[in-house]
Amino acid sequence: MTTAPTRKHFVGTAHTRVEGRDKVTGAARYASEIPFDRLAHGWLVLSTIARGRITSVEDTPVLAMPGVVAVLHHGNAPRVDTDYTGLLGTAPDPTAALFQHDRVPHAGWPVALVVADTSEQAREAAEALVVHYEQEPHDVDFTAEHPDAYPLDSHLPAVAEKGDLEAELAASAAVVDAEYTTPEEHHNPMEPHAAAARWDGGRLDVVDSNQGTLWVASELANLFSLDPASVRVRSEHVGGGFGSKGLRAHQVAAVMAATVLQRPVRVVMTRRQMFSLAGYRSPTRQHLRLGADADGRLRALEHRCLSLTSTVHEFVEPGADPARTMYDADAHHTANHVVRLDVPTPTWMRAPGEAPGSFALESALDELAEKLGIDPIELRVRNEPALGPVSGLPFSGRNLLACFREGARRFGWADRDPRPGLRRDGRWLLGTGTAAASFPAGAAPSTAAVTAEADGTFTVRINAADIGTGARTALTLVAADALEAAPERVRVRIGDSDFGPAFIAGGSMGTRSWSWAVTVAAEELRERLALGAAVPPEGITVRSDTTEAVGALARKERHSFGAQFAEVAVDVDTGEVRVRRMLGIFAAGRIVNPLTARGQFVGGMTWGISMALHEEAVRDAGTGGHYGADLAGYHVAAHADVPLVEADWIDDPDPDDPVGIKGIGEIGIVGAAAAIANAVRHATGVRHRHLPIRPDRVLMAGRHA
Ligand code: MOS
């Protein structure tokens, strides 16, 4: 007698990546590795000035170099259409509309593409290409006063205000009034951006590394005025994205060259080029004012966040947003402003808004707790809102305090002496800190197709993207449960725009949105098979579309929550800060695959260490470009910087999701840097309000400043 698999038991159990063996053996091929006949290689040439005009491109000598087949620039490139609204509801970033005019709006602006038979020939020729400019004065100084900064609506109102801020501050027993800054930060996924394009029987076929093939395909169709059905984009394996892998210059360059040459063309970014072409997180300047009664209840909360954008496209890093979910106050003012500078356009980077915003907000809460003599966790307990502070909507679930309770128990918070600068381990001063985390939990419409094959296996087709998150494996478990079949019998195919509409890997919404569609199709298929339907040779396929179901979700404040804890050791004589251990406890919906989910949380927390202590892209005012635009000059946390990082979760299934998922991609980084900064304060008595907490900053501040 065979035992049928128990219903609904694969979701929630650890499963290694279904493509893990392919990845570690090299069988899994990334975009730049997929072979094409007659492939040519394009190399982007970027501007060396930060503002001005291209006066001439000396392409003739370069065209005579070995292997060179074309030099594309504003004088000869195909025209593209930018007068459209993209899939994500925004106008296209003109940075992707390559070579359309002679203006240079920032250093590292793409000015030409050199195409040759080999990558080496293309690079050699690109480096030899002489471009003449008429240079104009530029401004890249974000630290200056910017009276022309303006509010910019993104997904939420730019400005939200209730109550009389000045009156409530005046009536408060304790007030925190401080400015916090975070620097320009870059995603640096392991796999650089890469795309190959070719025309194949009247269809444009693009192999790319991206977070959503249909997103890229629809942008390309719009730009090149093509029938969307004639554009296919595939992206099977992606070595990290973090928000940087949407439509960027490399895909457009590859398509332009493939069109002009009628030959497959691949364009790969170098690590250095990624610093100006891949997007980045804007630096922020954040002003916080908190006022509270002696018992800790907030009377006033003001959070103003200034970020920058380019002169060609508007993007806002909404650092003031987390305050709208986290804490209520009688007077509650939040505002996101931007200033335009002669720099590349920033973009989404893991927890856009929440990552830098939580650093400022959760540091300020810690400052307030200290002023009031209230434990920082207790201060958050006393300010737990019943409704969304700005929206007035009920929460779909808010398990923040449960995270703090469990985290405090496991971290050993109860024994903590709040006085700063008292604990020592040899030359190290020791301290602990905590911070709250939150991130929106959303779902977006998606379609899926699930096929019962004649051999008893199942094939799931969904245009998902696994950017390293483990989404493909999570979807395998979700499908297995819905089909009541073992995961080994389920094959999940993703990353192909021909599979139809599905949400991108973004906003921590991918796995949730795709799981919904997969569940609907798989359950219907299981029911059909249960009726005894014989499976014909071509299989039985059931399709789903969650547009209606997702649209019917009631309006609520939907978020994941978490509590971050950190212990640091600080050497005030060298300025070195070492994180000794971190613990994050999350309430982030049902966890589909504990193995890869832990990787997501720990990865986010690790990035929090990196954000707190290391990462900082520095612009040179003179050239408008970066110092050290590489992984030697731009420091990221390396293995030795990352000690014991533990992540765990409490049971928190989303009541309105068929699988109970909320999404976990981004919340791990939220609050992590604040927990570390709060621990540094506890260790040394010095409050660091500017990231990263570099050795020189620790040294200059000394102890008990
Ligand atoms: Mo993410 S910043 O939504 O890829």
Q: For residue 571, count CB atoms less than 10 angstroms from its CB and return exposed for 0-12, middle for 13-18, buried for 19 or more.
A: middle
Pick the closest to residue 50 from 310, 348, 339 (CA basis): 310
Distance of alpha carbon 501 from alpha carbon 505, whole angstroms: 13
**Measured CA distances, 142 to 158, 282, 295 (Å):** 20, 10, 38
DSSP-derived secondary structure letter, 344 = P
Res 68: pLDDT: 98
Q: Which atom of ligand 1 is nearest to the CA of 347?
A: 2
For the chain, count helices (H), then strands (E): 17, 25
Res 153: pLDDT: 72
pLDDT tens, position by position, 272-303: 999 999 999 999 999 999 999 999 999 999 99
Residue with tokens 């499963």: 15
SS3 assignment, position 305: strand
CA–centroid distance, 506 to ligand 1, in Å, is 4
Contact 467, 211 (CB under 8 A): yes
Is the Cβ atom of 183 under 6 angstroms away from ligand 1?
no
Distance of alpha carbon 527 from alpha carbon 42, whole angstroms: 51
Tokens matching residue 41 = 């290689």
CA–centroid distance, 48 to ligand 1, in Å, is 29
Residue with tokens 């399709």: 543
Residue with tokens 């050239």: 623
Q: For residue 343, count CB atoms less than 10 angstroms from its CB and return exposed for 0-12, middle for 13-18, buried for 19 or more.
A: buried
Is the Cβ atom of 346 under 6 angstroms away from ligand 1?
no
Is the Cβ atom of 507 under 6 angstroms away from ligand 1?
yes
Omega before residue 5 within 30° of 0, cis: no
Read off the pLDDT of each residue in 682-703 and give the average, rounded to a whole number: 93
Distance of alpha carbon 616 from alpha carbon 263, whole angstroms: 40
Pick the closest to residue 47 from 352, 277, 251 (CA basis): 277
Cα atoms in the 13 Å half-sphere on the side-chain side of 479: 32
Q: Which atom of ligand 1 is nearest to the CA of 241?
A: 4
Query: Exposure pattern of 681-690 as b/e (b: 16+ CB <10 Å)?
Result: bbbbbbbbbe
- Mean pLDDT of the chain, nearest integer: 96
pTM: 0.97
- DSSP readout, 672-697? HHHHHHHHHHHHHS----BSS--HHH
Q: Which atom of ligand 1 is nearest to the CA of 349?
A: 2
Instruction: State the amino acid at position 183 in one-letter form.
Output: P
Indicate which residue's Cα is closest to atom 4 of ligand 1: 243
| CA 86 to chain centroid | 19
Contact 641, 155 (CB under 8 A): no
Is the Cβ atom of 506 under 6 angstroms away from ligand 1?
yes
Assign 3-class secondary structure to 328-355: CCCEEEEEEEEEECCCCCCCCCCCCCHH
Res 157: pLDDT: 83
Answer with the residue of higher pLDDT: 510 or 6: 510
Percent of the chain at pLDDT above 90?
94
Is the Cβ atom of 441 under 6 angstroms away from ligand 1?
no
CA–centroid distance, 349 to ligand 1, in Å, is 5
Pick the closest to residue 160 from 353, 331, 385, 348 (CA basis): 331
Alpha-helical runs (H) found in 129-282: 165-170, 213-223, 249-261, 271-277
Is the Cβ atom of 509 under 6 angstroms away from ligand 1?
no
SS3 assignment, position 288: strand
Res 533: pLDDT: 82
Residue 251 has pLDDT above 60, yes or no: yes
Give all strands of the β-sheet with 576-587 in edge-to-edge order: 423-425, 428-440, 559-571, 576-587, 644-649
Distance of alpha carbon 306 from alpha carbon 141, whole angstroms: 13
Contact 131, 47 (CB under 8 A): yes
- DSSP readout, 561-580? EEEEEEEEEEETTTTEEEEE
pLDDT tens, position by position, 426-459: 999 999 999 999 999 999 999 999 999 999 999 9
Pocket test for ligand 1, best of 193, 248, 350, 600 (most atoms within 8 A of CB): 350
Tokens matching residue 231 = 């554009």
Q: Which atom of ligand 1 is nearest to the CA of 506?
A: 3
Phi, psi of 135 (to 5 degrees): -85, 145
Residue 160 has pLDDT above 60, yes or no: yes
Phi, psi of 456 (to 5 degrees): 90, 0
Is the Cβ atom of 243 under 6 angstroms away from ligand 1?
yes
Q: For residue 302, count CB atoms less than 10 angstroms from its CB and return exposed for 0-12, middle for 13-18, buried for 19 or more.
A: buried
**Measured CA distances, 97 to 109, 402, 589 (Å):** 11, 48, 39
Is the Cβ atom of 510 under 6 angstroms away from ligand 1?
no
Q: Which atom of ligand 1 is nearest to the CA of 350?
A: 2
pLDDT band at residue 685 under the 50/70/90 scheme: very high
pLDDT tens, position by position, 546-559: 999 999 999 999 99
Contact 396, 555 (CB under 8 A): no
CA–centroid distance, 242 to ligand 1, in Å, is 5
Q: Domains in the chain, start-ordered, CATH in brackets?
A: 20-27+443-552 (3.30.365.10), 34-137+190-240+245-277 (3.90.1170.50), 395-441+558-705 (3.30.365.10)
The length of the chain, given as a count of residues: 705
CA–centroid distance, 246 to ligand 1, in Å, is 10
DSSP-derived secondary structure letter, 302 = E
Contact 458, 483 (CB under 8 A): yes
CA–centroid distance, 245 to ligand 1, in Å, is 9
Distance of alpha carbon 172 from alpha carbon 299, whole angstroms: 7
Read off the pLDDT of each residue in 326-340 and give the average, rounded to a whole number: 97
Is the Cβ atom of 352 under 6 angstroms away from ligand 1?
yes
pLDDT band at residue 87 under the 50/70/90 scheme: confident
CA–centroid distance, 563 to ligand 1, in Å, is 21
pLDDT band at residue 705 under the 50/70/90 scheme: very low
CA–centroid distance, 507 to ligand 1, in Å, is 5
Tokens matching residue 394 = 């009920």
Q: Which atom of ligand 1 is nearest to the CA of 348?
A: 2
Residue 92 has pLDDT above 90, yes or no: no
Is the Cβ atom of 348 under 6 angstroms away from ligand 1?
yes
CA–centroid distance, 351 to ligand 1, in Å, is 7
Provide CB contacts within 8 A for 342, sequence distance 6+.
Answer: 50, 51, 105, 106, 107, 138, 139, 140, 310, 311, 624
Pick the closest to residue 424 from 609, 694, 684 (CA basis): 684
Res 152: pLDDT: 82
Q: Which atom of ligand 1 is nearest to the CA of 352?
A: 2
Tokens matching residue 330 = 């009688």
Tokens matching residue 255 = 């398509």
Catalytic residues: 666
Alpha-helical runs (H) found in 7-140: 20-25, 59-63, 119-128
Distance of alpha carbon 354 from alpha carbon 665, whole angstroms: 13
Read off the pLDDT of each residue in 154-173 and give the average, rounded to a whole number: 91
CA–centroid distance, 243 to ligand 1, in Å, is 4
Is the Cβ atom of 442 under 6 angstroms away from ligand 1?
no
Tokens matching residue 374 = 């209230």
pLDDT tens, position by position, 469-521: 999 999 999 999 999 999 999 999 999 999 999 999 999 999 999 999 999 99
pLDDT tens, position by position, 10-38: 999 999 999 999 999 999 999 999 999 99
Residue 466 has pLDDT above 90, yes or no: yes
Phi, psi of 63 (to 5 degrees): -65, -20
Is the Cβ atom of 241 under 6 angstroms away from ligand 1?
yes
Distance of alpha carbon 106 from alpha carbon 529, whole angstroms: 59
Read off the pLDDT of each residue in 51-73 and give the average, rounded to a whole number: 98
Is the Cβ atom of 397 under 6 angstroms away from ligand 1?
no
Pocket test for ligand 1, best of 216, 245, 282, 666 (most atoms within 8 A of CB): 666
DSSP-derived secondary structure letter, 427 = T
Q: Where are the beta strands (DSSP E) in 201-248?
A: 203-208, 231-234
Q: Which atom of ligand 1 is nearest to the CA of 508?
A: 3
Read off the pLDDT of each residue in 362-385 and give the average, rounded to a whole number: 98
